[in-house]
Copies of this chain bind each other. A is one copy, B any other.
Amino acid sequence: MFGRGARIDAVDELDRAILRELQSDARRTNRDVAAAVGVSPSTALERTRALRRRGVIRGALLDVDLGAMGRPVQALVSVRIRPPSRAVIEEFRDWAQGLPETLGVFVTTGTADFVLHVAVPDNDRLYAFVIDRLTQHTAVADVRTSVVFEHLRTTRVDPVAQD
């Protein structure tokens, strides 16, 4: 192992095919996946479990309709932190991640240290989130808010050959 040009546990064609099927619907039954990729159920099961063991598959996330959940308004909130030291960054990251409005936290380079993806019931709540909640945190130096009209997610991440 560790031979030149080959990573440990490379994802082969069968693995790729299984990942394609499961990405289209993470609840596909093992039988379905096996039939779709053309192997026996036990083979598909063993491959899927190996992908899980190796950490390629981390789990299955529920895709919910944010409108139906009472949070139709989404925004990307860019936040500048001061000072941007590790301790402050990590503390803010965990705090932001725990807010009920937060869908995701990006820790970034560039003009913003963080980009928060949030979903709220209406514009009033968005404004309140930014001017009440965020500015309440002492490390927040600057905030810029962009309303998200539409958010499309890709359900197909192709593995790149790791030679």
Please name the residue on chain B nearest to A117 by beta carbon: B106
Number of A residues with CB within 8 Å of any CB on chain B: 61
Which residues from chain B contact A162 at a C-beta distance below 8 Å? 70, 121
Contact of A60 (CB < 8 Å), options: B62, B76, B157: B62
| A47 CB, min distance to chain B CBs, angstroms | 14
Asked if A141 is an interface residue, CB under 8 A from chain B, the answer is: no
| A43 CB, min distance to chain B CBs, angstroms | 19
Q: Is the CB of B64 within 8 A of A147?
A: no
Please name the residue on chain B nearest to A66 by beta carbon: B157
Those of A109-150 within 8 Å (CB) of chain B: 109-112, 115, 117, 119, 121, 144-150
Q: Is the CB of A58 within 8 A of B69?
A: no
Number of copies: 2
Those of A43-100 within 8 Å (CB) of chain B: 54-66, 68-71, 76, 93, 97, 100
Beyond A104-B153, A148-B108, A152-B104, is A63–B59 a contact (Cβ under 8 Å)? Answer: yes
Please name the residue on chain B nearest to A153 by beta carbon: B104
Q: Is the CB of B62 within 8 A of A19?
A: yes
Q: Is the CB of A64 within 8 A of B160?
A: no
Q: Is the CB of B62 within 8 A of A23?
A: yes
Please name the residue on chain B nearest to A155 by beta carbon: B61
